[in-house]
Amino acid sequence: MARAAVSGRLGGRLTWRGARLVESRDETAAARTLMFEVPDWPGHLAGQHVDVRLSAEDGYQAVRSYSLAAPADGDRIALSVQRVPDGEVSPYLTQDFAVGDSVELRGPLGGWFVWRPAERDPVLLVAGGSGIVPLMAMVRARRVTGSRVPFRLIYSVRSPADLYYADELRVPQPGDGGLDVAYVFTREAPDGHSRPTGRIAVADINNGGWPPEFEPNCFVCGPTGFVEIVADILVALGHDPRRVKTERFGPTGG
Amino acid sequence: MTELYEDGNALAGPLGEIFAVDVTVAIQRCAHCGRTGPVAALRVYRHAPGLVARCPGCDGVVLRLVRTPDAAFLDLTGALNLRIPLEA
C-alpha cells in the first residue's frame, strides 16, 4: 500500500540510497519494469520520479531520472525503463542488469507533477509512448486507495506492440470502475480499431477527455513535441493552463 | 536535438542536493518578463555545461546550476523572487 510520506530526505538533505533489483519483467521489446528493494523507503506520490546513479570502476558516474511506475509496496518500488539506442544507462538497466544487482538512487523527487488520492476533481491523463509510466502510477494509486475520482486516459503509441501494461489496461482491474482508456495508434492499429492511424489531434482530446467546464486536472507526459501539441490543444479547448501539468522527456534520456 | 528540453521537474534531484525543501513547487517570477509560474514548468536544457532553466514565456534564463565534484554553482539572477510553500 502507498504510504503518505513524501520526503526522500534524511535529516533534511537528499541522500543516495542503495537499491537492489528483486524482480523484472519486459513491458515491450524495448522496455523493462524493474522492481527494487530500497531499505527504509519513505513512500511516494503518484507522478514522482527518482534519480538513478551508476558508477564505473574508474569513478565515472552517470545519473538519469526515471518515473516511479506504481505505489510503493513496503520497501519495494517499480521503475519502467525504455531502452534508448546508444544510451549510456538504459541499455545496461534493460539488458545486463540482473536480480541481485544494485544501483544507487535518490528520491522520491518532484512535488508538482503528482496526483494525490484526496483530490476530488476529475483527471485526464494523456500519455505519449513511455510517458505512460508516471500516469500508470496514478491509475494504480487510484486503484489501491479506492478513489472514485473519474479518470480518463488517452494513450498514444506507434503500434500495439509498443503498449506498456497492455493486459492490465485492457482488462479492467478491481477498483478500476470509472477509468476510461482511449488509444491513439500513430503508425499501426490493431484490427477493428476504428480510429485511423495518425498523430494525436484535437478530436482525440475532445472525445477522450473532459469538457473544460468540469475543471479536470490534466497530466500530460511524453516526448517534448508530443507534450507541446497536447498542452496547446488543451488550452485551445478552454482548459485552464494552471490545470495542465506536463512532464517532457528530454534529449538526454538514455 | 539541441532544441529539445525537459520540464523543471527534472531539477528536483539536483536542487534537492542543496535545499531542504522541494524548490520545484515554488512559484518563481521571471526577471526578464515578469511572468510567474512553478519552477517545475521552466524549460530545462542539459546540453550546456550544467543545467539551464528558461522561462516558458520569454525564453530568458531564470536559473543555472553547475555541479562540480565538490561544489554546486547556482545562479538565480534571472528570478526576481521565489514563493516557496511551507507547511503551516
Summarised one tens digit per residue, pLDDT across range B28-46 is 999 999 999 999 999 999 8
* Mean pLDDT computed over every residue of chain B: 92
The answer, yes or no, to whether residue B79 has pLDDT greater than 80, is: yes
Give me the count of residues in chain A. 254
Chain A nearest-CA distance from B59, in A, is 15
The answer, yes or no, to whether residue B3 has pLDDT greater than 60, is: no
In chain A, the domains with their CATH numbers are 9-109 (2.40.30.10), 123-249 (3.40.50.80)
pLDDT at residue A5 in the model: 45
Read off the C-alpha cell for A165. Answer: 501494461
DSSP A165-204: THHHHHSPPTT-TTEEEEEEESS-PPTT--SPS----HHH
pLDDT < 70 stretches in chain A: 1-13, 250-254
pLDDT at residue A150 in the model: 98
Determine the Cα–Cα distance for residues B70 and B52; give it in Å rounded to an integer.
20
Angle (nearest 5°) at CA B28 between A214 and A220 = 40
Predicted TM-score of the model (pTM): 0.93
pLDDT at residue A33 in the model: 97
Nearest to A238 by CA among A208, A206, A203, A207: A206
pLDDT at residue A252 in the model: 52
The residue ranges of every structural domain in chain B are 6-83
Question: Among all residues of chain B, which has the CA nearest to that of A109?
Answer: B12
A→B interface, C-beta within 8 Å: 8-9, 12-14, 49-51, 63, 65, 106-107, 109-113, 224, 245-252
Determine the Cα–Cα distance for residues A36 and A34; give it in Å rounded to an integer.
6
Of B7, B17, B40, the CB nearest to A14: B17
pLDDT at residue A250 in the model: 62
Give me the count of residues in chain B. 88
